[in-house]
Amino acid sequence: MPNPTNSSQEFVIDQMKKSTSNSFGYIVNSFHELEKVYVDSWNSEATPNVWYVEPLCIAEPERKPQKKPFWIQWLDQKLAQGCSVLYVAFGSQAEVSSKQLQQIAMGLQESKANFLWVLRKKESELLDEGFEERVKERGIVVKQWVDQSRILKHQCVEGFLSHCGWNSALESICYGVPILAWPMIAEQALNVRIVVEEIKVGLRVESTCNGMKPLFVKWEGLMKMVKELMEGEMGKQARKRVKQVAELGKMAMADADGSSWQTLDLLINELCNK
């Protein structure tokens, strides 16, 4: 008997394909200059049309001054101490097992890196008792919602251990923060290939994604790659590269003259003509 869940997924995917093929085009969460890094002719040859109108994250107006949350105050302290910080977050959808959380905790602890780790409350309860006390001089675990853009913009944040969901990857790229990529679900394995192999703005954990299921990562491998990202030569190269690409993002959002603004004007005009 066929799995009803698989049948439902196949039906949804089939309907998406039909809708896409009959659509006027795609509005893509990216920008022209970034796509040119690894796809030189997609926009001109794609059917339907493709419009790149991002990165909106760097076009957000500055918020009015307000009381800083404790995690920004902690980052400020690390900046004053001249420390670089690894930001760790895996999004809101992927479930991380208790055993895997223990390995992540050990890897971060033994890496000796400064880190800010965002966890859901129920996940934080699975950590070894005493972990936060052991790392309190150089790491904190945040058990609440955070403004990710605000963290990635902070001057002391120089690495992002991420599931590599595209929104997170694009934010990290646009703020000039190299990525240590760990794909977990959905299209994230493809995103990692783009980030690591094509754009070359990050490294990957010592694991591969087995289809839709992430493989178990041991603490020794994670520790090794955290050190490489934050201190090693490959990390330096990724950091240099991502800052170059971040400048392209700023160009794309430059008022009126930026490629994303021009693309948006073109899209509006074409829709009006329809």
Q: What are the pLDDT digits (tens) for 2-52?
A: 455 557 768 887 887 788 778 888 888 899 888 876 655 444 455 568 889
Residues paired with residue 209 on neighbouring β-strands, in sequence order: 214
Examine the domain organization and report whether 50 and 112 are in the same domain.
Answer: no
Whether 222 is in a domain gets the answer yes
* Domains contained in the chain, number: 2
Whether 63 is in a domain gets the answer no
Whether 64 is in a domain gets the answer no
Dump pLDDT digits (tens) for 52-73.
Answer: 988 888 877 666 667 899 999 9
Whether 133 is in a domain gets the answer yes
Torsion angle of C-alpha atoms 125, 74, 149, 108, degrees rounded to 10? -50
Q: What is the pLDDT of residue 1?
A: 45
Q: Give this prediction's pTM.
A: 0.87
Dump pLDDT digits (tens) for 229-254.
Answer: 999 999 999 999 999 999 999 999 88
Whether 65 is in a domain gets the answer no
Examine the domain organization and report whether 220 and 266 are in the same domain.
Answer: no
CATH number for the domain spanning 224: value is: 3.40.50.2000
Examine the domain organization and report whether 145 and 261 are in the same domain.
Answer: no
Average of pLDDT values for 108-114? 97
Helices 219-231 and 233-252: crossing angle in degrees, nearest 10, is 60
* Residue span of the structural domain in which 263 resides: 23-55+253-273
Whether 238 is in a domain gets the answer yes
Provide the CB-side half-sphere exposure for 219 (13 A, CA): 14
